[in-house]
Amino acid sequence: MNYAIVAAIAVVLLGLALKTLGINQEYERAVLFRLGRLGTTKGPGWYWLIPFVDRVVKVDTRTITVQLETQETITRDGVAVKVNAVLWYRAVDPARVVTAVESWRSAIIQAAETGMRDAIGQSDLDQMLKDRVAINKRLLELLSTAAERWGIEIDAVEIKDVDIPEQMQRAIAREAEAIREKRARIIKAEGENEAAQKLAEAAAMIATAPGALELRRLQTLTEIGVEHNSTIIAMLPVELLHAAGKIAGLPSGSAE
C-alpha cells in the first residue's frame, strides 16, 4: 500500500511538473493569462507556468497564404465580374491577436473578401484589366486599416483572376480589332503621304535637269528587259531624231 501511495504521489507530481513547463517553437509565441488577466507574452524556447493559475494561447507568427473565394460584384461602370485574389498576412502582436478578435484568421479573410468587393466597385473594367497594381494597392490600404487594430500585418494582396461575361469579351475583342484597324489605316496613309512627297521632289528634280526624264525612261526599259519573254516597243523622242539627223548631215525634215 505504501508503494501504491508513493507511486500515485509521484504521478501527480510529474503531472504538475509537466504543467509548469511550456515550450515554444521559434515561430510561436505564447500569450499568458494569469487568473484570467493578460500577462506577458512568452517567446521561443521553454518557460515556467503556475499550475491551475496560468493559461497560455499559442500564436503562429509565420506568414500565412490564403486564396480568397471568388467574389461576384459589379464594377463602377456597371459590368458584372467574378474576381478572386491571394492574401499574405501574419501576426505581429500576439497579445492583440488573441484579445482584440475572437478568430483572427477568419476575421482577416472576411475583411479581405469585403475589401475586395469594395475595391472592385470603385474601379472601371478597363482599369481592372490594364492596371491591377493600382487596385491591389487600394485593397491593401483598406485591409491594413482593419488588420492593424487586430495586431495583424498584411504583407501583400493581389488579384489573381478576373472573369467577365462572354458578351463583354466579344465587345472588348471588337474594340481591340477596331483600334488595330485604325492604326493600320493611319500607318498606310502616312506611308502614302510620304511616298507622294518623295515623288513630287523627284518630279521637280527631273524637270530642272535636261535629259533626266529620258535617262529615267531608258532605265525603265532596262528594268523591263530583264524579262526575256517580253517584247518592248520603244518610241524615240523627236528631239533625239533631230539630233541624229544633224549629226548625219540630213535635211531637217528627212529625219522624221
pLDDT band at 254 (very low <50, low <70, confident <90, very high): very low
Identify which of 25, 143, 41 has the alpha carbon closest to the alpha carbon of residue 90: 143
Range(s) for CATH 3.30.479.30 in the chain? Answer: 64-164
Asked which of 1-15, 34-48, 155-169 is least confident by mean pLDDT, the reply is 1-15
The dihedrals phi and psi of 80, each to the nearest 5 degrees, come to: -80, 125
pLDDT, mean of residues 7-16: 65
Residue, of 192 and 167, whose pLDDT is higher: 192
**pLDDT score at 36:** 87
pLDDT band for 226, please (50, 70, 90 cuts): low
pLDDT tens, 135-159? 888 888 888 888 989 999 999 988 8
List the grid coordinates of 218: 531608258
Summarize the confidence of residues 174-179 as an average pLDDT.
72
Q: Which CATH superfamily is domain 64-164 in?
A: Band 7 domain (3.30.479.30)
Q: Is the pLDDT of residue 120 over 70?
A: yes
Please indicate whether residue 255 or residue 199 has the higher confidence score (pLDDT). Answer: 199
Q: Is the torsion defined by CA of 151, 156, 157, 160 positive or negative?
A: negative
Instruction: Please write down the long-range contacts of 20-23, taking CB distance under 8 Å and 24 or more positions apart.
Output: 20/48, 20/49, 20/50, 20/51, 21/46, 21/47, 21/48, 21/49, 22/46, 22/47, 22/48, 22/49, 22/56, 23/47
Dihedral over Cα of 221, 225, 226, 230: its sign: positive
Mean pLDDT of 166-191: 76
pLDDT (0 to 100) of residue 160: 83
What ranges make up the beta strands (E) of the chain?
A: 21-24, 28-34, 37-42, 45-48, 54-60, 64-67, 71-74, 80-91, 152-163
Count Cβ atoms below 10 Å from residue 108 Cβ, excluding itself.
23
- Global pTM? 0.61
Question: DSSP strand E in 75-141: where?
Answer: 80-91
Question: In the predicted model, is pLDDT for residue 81 greater than 90?
Answer: no
> What are the tens digits of pLDDT across the range 29-39?
999 998 889 98
